[in-house]
Amino acid sequence: MNALLRAAEELFRAHAVDDVTVDDIATRAGVAVGSLYNHFGSKAGLHAAVVENALQVDRDYMDRAYLSGGPPLQQLYAAADAYLDFYLAHPDYFRMLAFPSLPGQYQAGHELAERLAHSVDEQNKRMVVALRRAIEAGDLTPVDPEDVATVLWAAWNGIISLHWRPDALRRDEAQLRGLLNTATDVIANGLLPRSRRSPGSVSREAPR
């Protein structure tokens, strides 16, 4: 089963799902085609298992931030670091979750896209909880935590994707960490000068 998962990950990384056949996967894994059907039922089932594996690895990394027991605002900085660690260790999983490519012609594509979106939303709800707790503690001004969580998640994805650029805009790991902290700083502290900030705004250093 693990050989099939590894083979599928390698092929889905290099080719569109539509272009990969069960024979391709079985040959790459060195097993009979029947083994794929016995373990996963279909190519769609195997594809779903690959995506779920990526989601579980992501959850494991994010647990480090949200189960640390630290103050909620600190959890946001820790979550940004954990998300980058996830990308650096598993770049293909990151691409799969942050920038999925599920062709409409693939019969299971729409259903899998909905499952993926739901799982990512469930992860973002952990950020919503941390934001809500920070607001209740007076560390953040009252904002819509769901909107802010979406903004942060989208910003983190965009920042990390700078690592792929082939030009002068590419950023290395240290620069990415700094930019992720900056994005979280903007949420925590805003862009207004101190004299114009509301009483509930905060000023604290991002953890290193």
Q: Is the pLDDT of residue 27 over 80?
A: yes
Q: Which CATH superfamily is domain 1-41 in?
A: Homeodomain-like (1.10.10.60)
Q: Is the pLDDT of residue 37 over 90?
A: yes
The pLDDT assigned to 202 comes to: 46
Sole residue written with tokens 């082939």: 166
Q: What is the 3-state secondary structure (H, E, C) of the chain?
A: CHHHHHHHHHHHHHCCHHHCCHHHHHHHHCCCHHHHHHHHCCHHHHHHHHHHHHHHHHHHHHHHHHCCCCCHHHHHHHHHHHHHHHHHHCHHHHHHHHCCCCCCCCCCHHHHHHHHHHHHHHHHHHHHHHHHHHHHCCCCCCCCHHHHHHHHHHHHHHHHHHHHCCCCCCCCHHHHHHHHHHHHHHHHHCCCCHHHCCCCCCCCCCCC
d(CA 19, CA 39) in angstroms, rounded, equals 21
Question: What are the pLDDT digits (tens) for 155-198?
Answer: 999 999 999 999 999 999 999 999 999 999 888 877 556 555 55
Percent of the chain with pLDDT over 70: 87
CA-CA-CA-CA dihedral for 50, 92, 79, 207, to nearest 10: 150
Question: What are the pLDDT digits (tens) for 79-98?
Answer: 999 999 999 999 988 988 88
Domains of the chain: which residue ranges? Answer: 1-41, 44-196
Q: 205: Cβ–Cβ under 8 A, 6 or more apart, which residues? A: none
Q: Is the pLDDT of residue 106 over 80?
A: no
Question: Comparing 5-14, 31-40, 96-105, which segment has the lowest mean pLDDT?
Answer: 96-105
The pLDDT assigned to 200 comes to: 46
Sole residue written with tokens 């993926």: 116
Q: Are 1-41 and 44-196 in the same CATH fold?
A: no
* Token representation of residue 193: 């000068």
Query: What would you report as the CA-atom Rg of the chain, rounded to the nearest whole angstrom?
Result: 20
What pTM was estimated for this model as a whole? 0.82
Mean pLDDT for all residues in the chain: 85
Question: What are the pLDDT digits (tens) for 116-164?
Answer: 888 888 889 999 999 999 999 888 888 899 999 999 999 999 999 999 9
Q: 61: Cβ–Cβ under 8 A, 6 or more apart, which residues? A: 82, 83, 85, 86, 89
| CATH of region 44-196, choose from 1.10.357.10, 1.20.120.720, 3.40.50.2300, 3.20.20.100 | 1.10.357.10
